[in-house]
Structure 1
């Protein structure tokens, strides 16, 4: 049993099985004890597994208890139950199942596989209820390298999924916003990460200046093959330290989780840039375990293949250094300043296509410029974050105003309900006394109902139009994607041109070639999209044209509300 390496849930099940055997006076732990323990323990995972193959966990549990009741007992209360021969055979089979799955730790699912593979009465019980190796393998996940393992700190693959985010994977899938500008900071970050000596960097800047976007920019450069040679094949992995702390019973378990994550990173790529957003959370972790920040970071810093990058505001980083002065020898600072208005406009232009696609609206250059200028003048906080929020909110409002039921409809419905209630009350009064009031109520109700009907008709007509508009980009992507996938489609070249133009636009934005980006955005891409629409319509798949765009006055309306200033006092020039 030297090689039996259980997960935390398996270990808990074994402990419970021992306690069950001791309470019953059984001198040995039998497979029945294991089965009862797993059905009563492990958050219902084994019960759910039995249900998946068509067995009733309650009936199986009752049968296991019947087998346990037939086991020999001893009156000597000092006897501590040991693993019996049958239970040992089950554990050996479970370890074999884990090895075949490609994992180092034995999960409760592996123990169930060990039970059905054993020559025991418990295996016969399970088989009678349809639980066999074949039925179990049919419902267990087919992922390689041990996807059936419990959620356990020592399982590196599970730990990676639970505690990290792979930014390079997001960049490869196009899920990160384009990063425009910040070239000096990205280059400095890449340089520090390439050093042989101190390989830890901290991005220091106010909240909202774009520290995390710089890290995203590094991930995008690695994916695009534009990073230094030493970083060319690195992953960029963001750690969630607070999630690692949650539920950990002590610093040892936290360190075990962190080590599992680092092992998983090295198994996947060998080299990586490890990101800790909001580096001052390290102080929280250190305080929780009465240790130092450098001790918490030791597992990362001790691995030559890993680089470390953190983010912090100047104030919080100063407090962190005060908490552990040794950090000044670990981290090299990269100052991230608030961008100028011109740089902020360029940054917003870079992310504009993502917000247009999300809200299905057009965002004009005037709106982008107004967002930067008005945010800088009238709203607290640094650029570009507050300007991006303005764009996001203005676009969401326009979309909601177009899609949601008008406020006038709700107000009219309230008015109608109030008038109907009053009309019902008047029926209790003598007709001659309320004749004039009743007549007026009937007239007001008729007017309100007619107006409500008109508003609902207009809204539904507008909604039908917008429903088609909302699908325009999806339709374009679907059509061009189909054309790209099917060689027999005559418009494959057109689809490829549109896909290439969109890619070139994002590259031009990242490179700061705004002349080329403007040409692509306002001439080349719209022209190709119109040709796609024409081709689709000629093939019997009509597409709507885009409606609704954000202008500078939409931005001014949001700023007016947030800053408490009249719109006429906001200079849009």
Structure 2
């Protein structure tokens, strides 16, 4: 099995370090050449700044060191500068760490940890002098640095946000349903007026303003959240919700690629911070039972529900959840503290007659998509026959599948 490769960014930085040593007429490519080159990588500059280091000070100190203290190459040296043993050790350790962590590539930021282990080097001294310690750096990396950028930073490390934030977590892991409604991407909500009104009432509360939609799969829990977004877009909600935004959390994307302990927590905290920075945001978590235990690692107790609880209890974050009766009993009975923060709303299966009305309300979308016309008898038959024969599923979802 092939070992991990050097990332494109790291290969570029190593080439730059070699060329720098060659241009300066130095005998060796040292850790100081490497660190100076690494400062031009966004991920490295961000890590140093996040841990309280000053990129400018480190850069200037390295320039002074290489100008005045690095060994010059003898005149007879013809094959260019050689890598020092320390530099070779750093690369080898980084590759071994990537291999043991089942990583495909060795990234630039990972070399900082290995440089700190070369305690006799000036590069390690500079990092330590800036307060950058191995443990803190490992914690920073394990809590999810952004993927290595293909670009470089300017010499002063000025081209990133002052707070070190990367991409918008709301854009990465959520969908804004009111905007979807504005673009005509959501189906209309037919019926469910009482349930929707109850949901709106709970959202308007000062505290514990978190509705929990509980019902069997396919009865329309997600459609209710989309109906809320449609109401907001149409301006048919109380003033307190007039400019609200409804963010649908993509739990699959949130969990995907969370290889290291802390990755999941960092993503979720980023979402929470983004939501709380908005004036009127509502988070919708479909299948909310998945957050109980989501992100927790062996020996750890920090899962999504523990991150959400403080904001839910205070009313600073409004959250709409959906789950089934079975999962509600299994998950929320186990976590009573989480259950107390929600107001349960039962979403019962509609009758055959109600389902027929729902199909009539939706038929225009399906007629346009399939380029057909449904008569009322066909829609009523779809409701009746699906209820009679598809006994393992629930209305209206199974009837909608029939007309689709």
TM range (shorter): 0.5 to 0.7
Structure 2 counterpart SS, 1:162: helix
Say which of 365, 368, 387 aligns to 2:376.
Answer: 365
1:112 equivalent in structure 2: 152
Pairwise CA distance, 1:77: 8.1
Cα distance in 2, alignment partners of residues 377 and 316 from structure 1 = 26
Whether the 8 Å contact between 2:207 and 2:313 is mirrored in structure 1 is: no
Whether 1:388 and 2:400 are equivalent positions in the alignment is yes
Check 1:26–1:328 CA distance in 2 against 1; reply closer, same or farther (3 A cut): closer
Cα distance in 2, alignment partners of residues 249 and 200 from structure 1 = 31
CA offset digits 1:230-272 (Å, max 9, x no partner) = 11111000112332222235553322211222333344x4221
Check 1:287–1:261 CA distance in 2 against 1; reply closer, same or farther (3 A cut): closer
Check 1:36–1:30 CA distance in 2 against 1; reply closer, same or farther (3 A cut): same
Structure 1: which 5+ residue stretches go unaligned?
1-9, 39-68, 89-104, 119-145, 393-573
Pairwise CA distance, 1:297: 1.8
Check 1:71–1:301 CA distance in 2 against 1; reply closer, same or farther (3 A cut): farther
Cα distance in 2, alignment partners of residues 222 and 305 from structure 1 = 20
Check 1:27–1:286 CA distance in 2 against 1; reply closer, same or farther (3 A cut): closer
Q: Which has the higher contact order (CA 8 A, sep 6+)?
A: 2
Structure 2 counterpart SS, 1:297: helix
Say which of 187, 190, 215 aligns to 1:177.
Answer: 187
Check 1:347–1:325 CA distance in 2 against 1; reply closer, same or farther (3 A cut): same
Whether the 8 Å contact between 2:212 and 2:320 is mirrored in structure 1 is: yes
Cα distance in 2, alignment partners of residues 239 and 208 from structure 1 = 19
2:352 equivalent in structure 1: 341
Cα distance in 1, alignment partners of residues 352 and 323 from structure 2 = 23
Q: How does 1:372-451 map to 2 (within 5 A)?
A: 372-380=383-391, 381-392=393-404
Cα distance in 2, alignment partners of residues 214 and 365 from structure 1 = 24
Cα distance in 1, alignment partners of residues 383 and 316 from structure 2 = 41
Say which of 203, 207, 223 aligns to 1:197.
Answer: 207
1:281 equivalent in structure 2: 290
Give the length in aligned residue pairs.
297
Structure 1 counterpart SS, 2:294: helix
Say which of 242, 250, 256 aligns to 1:240.
Answer: 250
Cα distance in 2, alignment partners of residues 341 and 160 from structure 1 = 39
Check 1:106–1:373 CA distance in 2 against 1; reply closer, same or farther (3 A cut): closer
Q: How does 1:214-253 map to 2 (within 5 A)?
A: 214-250=224-260, 252-253=262-263
Whether the 8 Å contact between 2:355 and 2:396 is mirrored in structure 1 is: yes
Pairwise CA distance, 1:356: 0.8
Whether the 8 Å contact between 2:356 and 2:380 is mirrored in structure 1 is: yes
Pairwise CA distance, 1:107: 8.8
Cα distance in 2, alignment partners of residues 293 and 77 from structure 1 = 39
Cα distance in 2, alignment partners of residues 229 and 70 from structure 1 = 70
Pairwise CA distance, 1:182: 0.2
Cα distance in 2, alignment partners of residues 332 and 372 from structure 1 = 31
Cα distance in 1, alignment partners of residues 247 and 333 from structure 2 = 27
Determine which structure has the larger helix proportion and give its number.
1
Pairwise CA distance, 1:322: 3.1
Q: TM-score, normalised by structure 1?
A: 0.46
Pairwise CA distance, 1:370: 0.7
Structure 2 counterpart SS, 1:206: coil
Whether the 8 Å contact between 2:42 and 2:149 is mirrored in structure 1 is: no
Say which of 267, 272, 276 aligns to 2:281.
Answer: 272
Check 1:71–1:194 CA distance in 2 against 1; reply closer, same or farther (3 A cut): farther
Check 1:326–1:345 CA distance in 2 against 1; reply closer, same or farther (3 A cut): same
Whether the 8 Å contact between 2:210 and 2:343 is mirrored in structure 1 is: yes
Q: How does 1:85-104 map to 2 (within 5 A)?
A: none
Cα distance in 2, alignment partners of residues 281 and 36 from structure 1 = 37
Cα distance in 1, alignment partners of residues 306 and 169 from structure 2 = 20
Cα distance in 1, alignment partners of residues 307 and 356 from structure 2 = 40
Q: CA RMSD in A?
A: 3.9
Whether 1:328 and 2:339 are equivalent positions in the alignment is yes
Say which of 317, 325, 328 aligns to 1:306.
Answer: 317
Whether the 8 Å contact between 1:27 and 1:74 is mirrored in structure 2 is: no
Check 1:266–1:36 CA distance in 2 against 1; reply closer, same or farther (3 A cut): closer
Whether the 8 Å contact between 2:269 and 2:307 is mirrored in structure 1 is: no
Larger radius of gyration: 1
Whether 1:25 and 2:30 are equivalent positions in the alignment is yes
Cα distance in 2, alignment partners of residues 286 and 322 from structure 1 = 20
Whether the 8 Å contact between 2:40 and 2:153 is mirrored in structure 1 is: no
Whether the 8 Å contact between 2:264 and 2:295 is mirrored in structure 1 is: no
